[in-house]
Structure 1
Amino acid sequence: MPACLHFRSQLCLRYASLVKSDIMHNYLNHDVVPGVLKEVPPNSLEISYPSSGVVVSYGNELTPFQVKDTPVVVWKTEPHAFYALVMIDPDVPTKENNSMGAVNHWTVVNIPGINVTAGETLMEYRGSRPPRKESGIHRYITVVYKQHSNMPLVQRQHLARPRYKFSLHEFATEFNLNKPLAGNFYLAQYDDYVGSLRSTTPASSIAK
């Protein structure tokens, strides 16, 4: 290998290592690991919101208005494999007192490759809606699991959960999923957009 190419290769490897180190730091710094996940997912999960032009980047803060529409999600896939995607807010009612369990913001199973729209939705997407100013920063965590096979109807019906008091661990255990293959997360807090939703939507549908 020519010296210039070797040098460039080493720079790329070093850059990749630094990026991975920063990602791991963010997971730990925001207590996503070990507070919610047991370990950092090995692959990146690219999440973008075309309607607002923002992207999710391992702990960046976004506004509820920016994430109100369903995002585009991309991850590394294998041929003929199926995947399950879950997005949660574990900070209910607050990060310091999450006694009410997690809120399920989005669940899709039987996703062929990265074609999320071709998967089967168990929980429709709902953007961030922290219930009040005093609830502080909420973490919105999205993970993708590789399924062992296509989930049959009876299992999908069994795994269907209420939006509230959702347990990611129980979901993965009952579906016999391994560790998350990919993940990403962002932060959000209450703002005037959430307040405007309160005036037009029943309170039971707004919280979190």
Structure 2
Amino acid sequence: MSVSTKTANGITAALQKEDVIGDLFPERATSSTFIPEGSLLVDYTEPNTTVALGNVLPTETTQTVPSFNYKPFKEMDIESKYTLVMTDPDAPSRTDKKFSEYCHYVITDIKFTDAKEGGAIIPNQNNVELHSYIGPGPPKGTGLHRYIFLLLRQTDASLTDFTPVKERFNWGYGQPAVGIERWANENSLKLIAANYFLAENK
């Protein structure tokens, strides 16, 4: 088994532990298991605040937009563009989905220049920020929330206008437990990488 296969299997296991893909992509989860195409690395500026597939982080150290880096497991398509999102499926709690999913961040039209190395995801004038970053703000006493970062490939090269995310609650759809899966389907996005952390307000 190659190192990249072991890493991919480890990511899949960590996502399954908290049912990340099952909750965000229930249609996909019933037909296949998500196999990541690379590692999505997420680091906040505060010391010891690296997102590590389900670790618990303080809300106060995750309020500013983190840095992102993508490491593909094999050569990637650098002609494509990519979308990065952060979403919370536990709003206001994991058992109460009336505000879920909550959209924390959306940036589209990301380009990579190295087919083998991927690279940093740097917000600049070539990207389109559909929603600025909002850090975690779980209501007091609602338990641990999953804050999930996703990298998706834009498979429709002709798409220039994404479906607007009109509200952060329910991604603007007005239905509990609805968000990234519907938005990704509407905009021809394919999930390729994921990472997440847990946070709560005791």
Q: Please report the TM-score for the alignment, with normalisation by the length of structure 2.
A: 0.77
SS in 2 for 1:117: coil
Whether contact under 8 Å (1:82, 1:150) holds in the other structure is: no
Deviation at 1:151, TM superposition (A): 4.1
Whether contact under 8 Å (2:104, 2:134) holds in the other structure is: yes
More strand by share: 2
- Whether 1:137 and 2:144 are equivalent positions in the alignment is yes
Mapped to 2, the partners of 1:145 and 1:175 lie a distance apart of: 10
Q: For 1:17-32, list aligned pairs within 5 A.
A: 17-32=5-20
More helix by share: 1
Deviation at 1:101, TM superposition (A): 1.9
Q: For 1:81-120, list aligned pairs within 5 A.
A: 81-113=80-112, 114-118=120-124, 119-120=127-128
The residue that corresponds to 1:50 in the other structure is: 45
Match of 1:161 among 160, 166, 170: 166
Deviation at 1:21, TM superposition (A): 3.6
SS in 1 for 2:60: coil
Mapped to 1, the partners of 2:101 and 2:148 lie a distance apart of: 10
Judging changes above 3 Å, is the alpha-carbon distance between structure 1 residues 181 and 19 closer, same or farther for their aligned structure 2 residues?
closer
Which segments of 5 or more consecutive residues in structure 2 lack a partner in the other structure?
Answer: 113-119, 172-178
Read off the aligned partner of 1:32 and give its amino acid letter: V
Deviation at 1:16, TM superposition (A): 5.1
Which segments of 5 or more consecutive residues in structure 1 lack a partner in the other structure?
Answer: 1-9, 192-208
Mapped to 1, the partners of 2:123 and 2:43 lie a distance apart of: 15
Whether contact under 8 Å (1:50, 1:71) holds in the other structure is: yes
Mapped to 2, the partners of 1:69 and 1:19 lie a distance apart of: 28
RMSD, aligned CA: 2.1
The residue that corresponds to 1:80 in the other structure is: 79
SS in 2 for 1:97: coil
SS in 2 for 1:169: helix
Mapped to 1, the partners of 2:13 and 2:121 lie a distance apart of: 30
The residue that corresponds to 1:195 in the other structure is: none
Q: Deviations over 1:153-203 (max 9, x none)?
A: xx23x323311112111110110122x111111100015xxxxxxxxxxxx
Mapped to 1, the partners of 2:18 and 2:151 lie a distance apart of: 19
Q: May I ask how many residue pairs the two structures share in their alignment?
A: 174
Read off the aligned partner of 1:22 and give its amino acid letter: G
Mapped to 2, the partners of 1:115 and 1:36 lie a distance apart of: 23
SS in 2 for 1:162: coil
Larger Rg: 1
